[in-house]
Amino acid sequence: MVAQNVFFYLLAGIILFSAFRVVTSNNVVHAALYLVAVLAAVAAEYVLLAAEFVAATQVLVYIGAIIVLFLFGIMLTRAKLGSDQDLTHPHWALSAATAVVMFGVMGYALVDQFHWTATPLPADTRLVSVDGSNSATVSDSVFTAYLVPFEVVSVLLLAALVGAIVLARKD
């Protein structure tokens, strides 16, 4: 169990450092690459919680597709390749204060609800159904309890597809 904690804090460190760089970096491409680090480390956290199917989807869809979209977006909008001072508002301190206050409120609500040490997760967080893997449980519930939401996601993707075509079409 100690190993899990070591990994957790290692990954948390990577996530927070990289996320911080995403929002402060003066180079758009660097920001995108730091985002990759965040996404990969978050996927590893999912594995720690035995949600391996979500972790795999995170890697395939987020890192494999969404990041590529972002890189295309950066390329097509001809972002400066070097460092660019115009990426952040001059009055960023106000935004930082907002974020800190928000964290204070949410951190208080979380610690108040679950206390710091009193709420451990179950030792085995796998949701065993058919063959001892989370993936089987996920697929079972996607095609039973969450069938309608699952189909609705396809409508969402259709709407996004039509929308992107409408906007990208040359007049």
Partner 1 sequence: MDDLLLNQFLLLGAVLFCIGVYGVLARRNAVLVLMSIELILNAVNINLIAFGAFWGSITGSVFALFVIAIAAAEVGVGLAIVLLIYRNRRSVDLDDVAEMKG
Partner 2 sequence: MLASLWQQLSDSPVPIDSVDLAWAGLAPVMILIGGALLILAVDSLVPRRLRPGSYALATVLLAAGAMVAAVPLWQRVQDAERGPFATAAGAIMVDGFSVFATFVILSAVILAALSFDGWLRREEMDGAEPYVLMLLSASGGVMMASANDLIVMFLGLEILSIAVYVLAAMHLRKITSQEAGVKYFVLGAFSSAFFLYGIALIYGGTGSTNLVRIATYLSATVLGDSGLVLAGLALLLVGFGFKVAAAPFHFWAPDVYQGAPTPSVAWMASGVKVAGFAGLLRVFYLAFSTYRLDWQPVIFVLAVLTMLVGSVLAVVQTDVKRMLAYSSINHAGFILVAVQAATAAGVQAALFYLAAYTFMVAGSFGVIAVVSRKGDIGTSLDDYRGLSRDRPVVAFAFALLLLAQAGVPLTSGFFAKFYVITAAIEAGSSTLAIIAMITAVISSYVYLRIIVAMYGAGDDVPAPRTIPLPAAAGLALVISLTVTMSVGVFPGTLASLAERATPVLIPESDPGAVDPSGVPPGP
For partner 2, the binding residues (CB under 8 A) are 105-106, 108-110, 112-114, 130, 140, 143-149, 152-153, 155-156, 158-160, 162-167, 169, 171
Q: Which of 81, 110, 130, 132 binds partner 1 (CB under 8 A)?
A: 110
- 143 interacts with, out of partner 2, partner 1, none, CB within 5 to 8 A per kind: partner 2
36 binds partner 1 (CB under 8 A): no
Q: Which of 115, 131, 148, 151 binds partner 1 (CB under 8 A)?
A: 115
Name, in order, each residue with C-beta under 8 angstroms of 154's C-beta and a sequence gap of 6 or more: none
Cα–chain-centroid distance for residue 99?
18
Nearer to partner 2, 97 or 130 (CB): 130
82 binds partner 1 (CB under 8 A): no
Query: Which residue, among 108, 101, 82, 92, has the nearest Cα to 24 in the 3D structure?
Result: 92
CB distance 24 to 88 below 8 Å:
yes
Nearer to partner 2, 10 or 16 (CB): 16
63 binds partner 1 (CB under 8 A): no
CB distance 18 to 140 below 8 Å:
no
Shortest Å distance, C-beta 6 to partner 2:
25
DSSP 56: H
User: How far is the C-alpha of 69 from the C-alpha of 29, rounded, in Å?
Assistant: 12
The conformational region for residue 89 under phi > 0 = left, psi -120 to 50 = alpha, else beta, is beta
Shortest Å distance, C-beta 81 to partner 1:
14
146 binds partner 1 (CB under 8 A): yes
Name, in order, each residue with C-beta under 8 angstroms of 68's C-beta and a sequence gap of 6 or more: none
Nearer to partner 1, 82 or 116 (CB): 116
Q: Which of 10, 81, 102, 130 binds partner 1 (CB under 8 A)?
A: 102
CA atoms within 13 A on the CB side of 141: 7
